């Protein structure tokens, strides 16, 4: 494989990613508000009307926080980046910055199929970009340091792949059963728990192998 010319360390990319994820999470909150001057009945009605917004906010907060954590984990052992890494990272950050838009669709028009499809597609693209970065670094060891990996690459790829798969499956599922397909996302909870335990086992195996060495 031809080695693309390295373009420096990853520090600026990681810092940019931290800022973009922070701004995207902040933008999620902008739709959470209660009008002033309401009487008691109107106030309680407004709070009830806010529940879908809070639900969409919670989902997107978990999604963005998970991808931010994954992004930092991917770059943890990276010492050099090249043009493809930069392009993929910018694409991922642009997708992360876009997430407040489908979140607003989900909160205001969650009973529409299109809202669920658009949200699922954006999350799937974001996961796909992170998956591509993980695979890229796995195939270009010269971009990483010579230290032992902090985490096993296979569980990381499996974790990202599961997220992409679940949200991609949601798209045709929504077209068949409607917005209720969002409940399918709950499958990620036990799946992530299982993959997390698998990753912890792999990490302990690596640590044990290193100590014996």
124 backbone dihedrals φ, ψ, rounded to 5°: -65, -40
pLDDT digits (tens, 9 = 90+) for 91-108: 999 999 999 999 999 999
Element (H, E) at 174: helix 153-177
- What are the pLDDT digits (tens) for 63-79? 999 999 999 989 988 99
Q: Mean of the per-residue pLDDT values for the chain? A: 87
The distance from CA 90 to its chain's CA centroid, rounded to whole angstroms, is 14
Where is 63: in which H helix or E strand?
Answer: helix 40-74
- 144 in helix, strand or coil? strand
Q: What is the pLDDT of residues 146-188, one digit of tens each?
A: 654 545 566 678 888 999 999 999 999 999 999 999 999 999 9
**Do 150 and 77 contact (CB within 8 A), yes or no?**
yes
Residues comprising the chain, all counted: 213
Q: CB of 24 within 8 A of CB of 95?
A: no
With beta carbons less than 8 A apart as the criterion, state whether 28 and 106 touch. no
């Amino acid at each position: 494989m031809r080695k693309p010319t390295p373009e420096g360390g990853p520090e600026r990319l990681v810092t940019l990613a931290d800022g973009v994820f922070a701004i995207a999470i902040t933008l999620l909150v902008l739709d959470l508000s209660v009008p002033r001057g309401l009487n008691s009945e109107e106030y309680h009605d407004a709070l009830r009307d806010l529940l879908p917004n809070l639900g969409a906010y919670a989902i997107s907060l978990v999604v963005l926080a998970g991808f931010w954590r994954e992004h930092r984990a991917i770059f943890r052992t990276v010492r050099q980046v090249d043009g493809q890494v930069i392009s993929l990272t910018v694409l991922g950050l642009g997708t992360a910055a876009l997430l407040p838009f489908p979140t607003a669709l989900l909160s205001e028009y969650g009973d529409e199929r299109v809202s669920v499809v658009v949200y699922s597609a954006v999350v799937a693209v974001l996961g796909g970009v992170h998956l591509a970065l993980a695979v890229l670094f796995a195939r270009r060891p010269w971009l990483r340091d010579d230290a032992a990996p902090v985490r096993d690459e296979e569980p990381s790829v499996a974790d990202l792949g599961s997220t992409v798969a679940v949200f991609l499956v949601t798209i045709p599922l929504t077209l068949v059963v409607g917005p209720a397909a969002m409940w399918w996302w709950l499958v990620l909870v036990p799946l992530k728990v299982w993959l997390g335990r698998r990753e912890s086992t792999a990490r302990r195996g690596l640590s044990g192998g290193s100590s014996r060495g």
